Structure formats: structure tokens, C-alpha cells
Amino acid sequence: MIISPCFISLVDEEDKPLLVYVPSALEKDVNTVLKYNVLCNMALDYFENQLFKWSSLDTKPDIKFLFDLEGIAAYGLVIQQVGLKVIVGFSNEIKPNGLNDDNIDDVFTKIKKVYLRAKLNPFVTDTSNANLAVRLKEKFGEEFPWTNTVNPV
């Protein structure tokens, strides 16, 4: 089962956002985009909290459940080697058996692969964060087609 996140946020080691990706079906609604940006900013506080180390998924210790707010369940991951923070929000409207540890892990694995392919592409000469964000947005759109028929807002 493919689960499409409501948003994906990538934040560098200095807490500067590289990208807050919202599926194209949702990005036309300014309130939705603003809500997801606020949730991403809130999630950064959780990474600094001492309890962050203890809030892992049962089967995936690197992926942490951050919070459930405004109909969105937010999960986070820190890639220690580069200080990259990955924040993913899922709609609570997903069927109860659809949002499980394995499906969440699959989404994070896909995100890491997309990020590495975009970041380490030897054929790209413009390595700026702005160019990286454009490439990531395009690839996330391909990798995570919006399949949720329920309005998550």
C-alpha cells in the first residue's frame, strides 16, 4: 500500500529549511500550506527536546513520532552524519491499518533515496540549496503521488 504524506520537510543542520514539500493537489490552498509550515516549525522544537531520543517507533528506532495535531501525525528523523532533519506529516484520515511502522519506514526510506540522488547527482553543476529544492520537489511529486481521496484539512 502506497501512503502519500501530506507534507515533507527537510531542514539542514542549522535549522534552515531546505524544502517544505506539499503535494500539488494541496499547494493551491494557502491555509493548508501555511498550516504545514507551522507544523514543521513546531516539529523542530521536538528535535531539541531530551525526550526525542525515547519516542521511537517500536520497530524503527531512528524514526520518531513527534506529535498528532490538527489531523496530522508528524514523524521525524535526524540523519546524524549530515545533520539533516526530515519531518513527515500524515493525515489521520488514512485507514487505521494503513499507517503502520513498516509503511512509515518505507516513506522515510524513499525520502532518503530521493534526497541522496538529488544531492549527489554528478551531472548537476548548480549545487545551490535553491536548485536542490527544485529537484527534490519534482522527485517527491513523482515518488509520492497524492492518493488520499479525503481532504486532510
- Is residue 153's pLDDT more than 60? no
Which tens digit of pLDDT belongs to each residue from 118-151? 988 888 888 888 999 999 999 999 998 765 434 3
State how far the Cα of 47 lies from the Cα of 36, in Å rounded to an integer: 17
Assign domain 7-143 to a CATH class: alpha beta
Taking CB atoms within 8 Å and a gap of at least 24, the contacts of 55-60 are: 57/101, 57/104, 57/105, 58/101, 59/101, 59/102, 59/105, 60/101, 60/104, 60/105, 60/108
Instruction: Read off the pLDDT of residues 57-113 as tens digits, 9 standing for 90 and up.
Output: 556 678 888 999 989 999 999 988 888 999 999 998 876 567 888 889 999 999 999
pLDDT at position 117 over 70: yes
Q: What is the pTM of this model?
A: 0.85
Sign of CA dihedral 119, 120, 124, 125: positive
Boundaries of every domain in the chain:
7-143
What the block records as the C-alpha cell of 103 is 509503511
